[in-house]
Amino acid sequence: MKYALLSVFDKTGIIELAKKLLDLGYKIISTGGTAKELIKKNIKVIPVQEITGNPESFDGRMKTISFEIESGILFDRTNKSHVKEAKDLNIKPIDIVVCNLYPFEKTIANPKVSVETAVENIDVGGPTMIRAAAKNFKNVLVVVDPKDYQRVISFCHSESRHRRTKNLERSFANAQDDIRRELAAKAFAHLSLYDSQIAKFLEKEIFPSEITIPGRKVNDLRYGENPHQKASFYLEPNTNSLFKNLKKIVGRELSFVNLTDINAGLESVRLFREPCAAIIKHNSPCGIALGKNISQALERAIDADPESAFGGTTVLNKPMDLKTAKVIGEFKNKKRANIDIIAAPQITKDALEYLVEVRKSMGIYSFGKTMNYEPRAMNIKHIAGGFILQTPDNDIEKGFRAWKVVTRKKPSPEEIKQMKIAWKFISRIRSNAVIVVDKDLPMTRGIGSGQTSRIKSTRIALEQGGKYSQDGILASDSFFPFDDSVKLAAKYGISGIVQQGGSINDILSIEAANNANVSMVFTGRRAFWH
């Protein structure tokens, strides 16, 4: 006799699967709700209690965990002593286990869920059967995903045909082992993700001694960081990330760089309630700007550094309309420059039609109607053989309370406003970072980033800012180790400086600012972004 055990919470496709297994000569063992569904469709079922000799008990907490069930899954069919022992003990050989679990992930997606409700949705019997079947994959097929049902039926058909003809050639045997092993690996991965959600829900420590980072594959990427590398995109379960709604409308598929550039853009624009646009190159903004409307913000972001904007990724925090789309068209017509990727909450129909005419290969993506979200996830920085977990840098505005004016000249209210915008901008620019922000407009005029020397970053930002450095605001994501950056900023006519402070040479920087009649504010907080 051949037996298949069916015990699923998600009943998708289970009726069709059971019918096909019956046609292949399997007897169906089933439990609880699954058995009821099968019986409704006149599918003959062996109730699990007939195998275990015990009734379902404790509100269904005890059903399948038993010597008879686990033995039927676990004994080795290639071991003669196991086969004899199973026969002596009247153990039914369970050759297929089809199981999916109580919806713990869906349950805890409700932020108001009680611990009691969550705990009741922790599956115990299901994982036990899945683990046993996955361990004994050479003898038992384990199926945790309804998407695999048709594949399993095809596999069983082929296996049955080969066995009838006694033509179990090596190539088929190898393919058979590969499928069994693949399904087992999928089962263990499924259990790992499931258990990680339980641990995360119950854990109170933000840095536990052991941790599993769960992920569910979204799709393969066009290629990795370079075209010869492969890459895939994953999301954590129950994430509130805007990436869960990311949708391609037209144009090119995303590569590793495209996706991470969109991420860098989202991190920048989400900090603002006002219309905000960011042009991203190599995971860092080359231009960020605010505007009265999103078209003005985009125009300013491009104008901040049109040379670097070429081939960049445009990310907006407001929907893209036709007026905004025409900014992209004007950029191409005047500068003969292209944008590779656009990502916005929404793209209007007329904007889309226009953009397709501007450049057919441009990737246009939407990620939902709103930007009003606060990432809950911790930051993960991968290193060779492991990763670093850290709390996210999200409460930037709260840090404004600790700002301290350290120079004789006090910044004006308008300068303070520009400093606050500059500090938000620089918090999402690759370190070491120094930027120049326009004296009046909420936009970058010069960005020096990714340098190993702060004076180099300062020089790049000021040179790029050029005439707009006059009376502008200079921001540094950390302290100045020497007074050279302050003196250079004064030569370019910078009116106000905002920096972390905390260097042993702070007094020299303050003196340099006083001598040049430049206001300077210490934030008391660093804004590195690596």
Residue 394 lies in a domain: no
Question: What pLDDT score was predicted for residue 128?
Answer: 96
* From 19, 20, 135, 409, the catalytic residue: 135
The pLDDT tens digits for 115-144 are 999 999 999 999 999 999 999 999 999 999
Interval 470-499: pLDDT, tens: 999 999 999 999 999 999 999 999 999 999
Over the stretch 25-58, which tens digit does the pLDDT of each residue have?
999 999 888 999 999 999 999 999 999 888 888 8
Per-residue pLDDT, averaged over 152-161, amounts to 84
Which of 366, 391, 422 terminates a domain? The answer is 366
* Inside any domain, residue 517: yes
Residue 375 has pLDDT above 70, yes or no: no
In this structure, the chain runs to a length of: 530
Q: Is the pLDDT confidence value at 168 over 70? A: no
Q: How far apart are CA 393 and CA 162, in angstroms?
A: 60
Confidence of residue 59 (pLDDT cuts 50, 70, 90): confident
- Domain annotation covers residue 393: no
CB count in 10 Å sphere of residue 49: 15
139 and 48 inside one domain = yes
Residue 130 sits in the same domain as residue 271: no
Q: Are residues 129 and 56 in the same domain?
A: yes
Return d(Cα 100, Cα 127) in angstroms, integer: 9
Q: At 191, list the tokens.
A: 């259990």
> What's the rounded mean pLDDT across residues 391-403?
93
For residues 82 and 185, membership in a common domain is answered with yes
Tell the residue number behind the tokens 């180099």, with chain if given.
456
Give me the domain span that covers residue 286. Answer: 245-366
Tell whether 429 and 309 lie within a shared domain: no
| CA dist 417 → 92, 296, 517 (Å) | 75, 19, 19
Dump pLDDT digits (tens) for 82-108. 999 999 999 999 999 999 999 999 999
Domain edge (last residue) among 202, 224, 259:
202
Catalytic residue among 19, 162, 282, 323: 282
Quick check: is 157 catalytic? Answer: no
Residue ending a domain, choose from 316, 340, 366: 366
Give yes or no: residues 161 and 43 share one domain: yes
Closest CA to 529 of 294, 280, 339: 280
Is 391 domain-assigned? no
Same domain for 193 and 290 = no
- Among this protein's residues, is 135 annotated catalytic? yes
- State whether 83 and 191 are in the same domain: yes
In a domain, 392, yes or no: no
Query: Is residue 81 located within the same domain as residue 145?
Result: yes
345 and 442 together in one domain: no
CB atoms within 10 A of CB 358: 17
181 with 250, same domain: the answer is no
Supply the pLDDT for residue 313. 98
- Inform me whether the pLDDT recorded for 175 exceeds 90: no
Closest CA relative to residue 1, chosen from 40, 46, 36, 33: 46
Q: Which CATH number characterizes residue 342's domain?
A: 3.40.140.20
Q: How confident is the model at residue 369, as a pLDDT?
A: 73
> What domain count does the chain have?
3
Mean pLDDT, rounded, of the chain: 93
Residues 8 and 67 in one domain: yes
- Is there a domain that residue 216 lies in? no
Q: What is the band of 172 on the pLDDT scale with cuts at 50, 70, 90?
A: low
Q: Is 235 a member of any domain? A: no
Residue 13 within any structural domain of the chain: yes
178 is written with which tokens? Answer: 């590969």
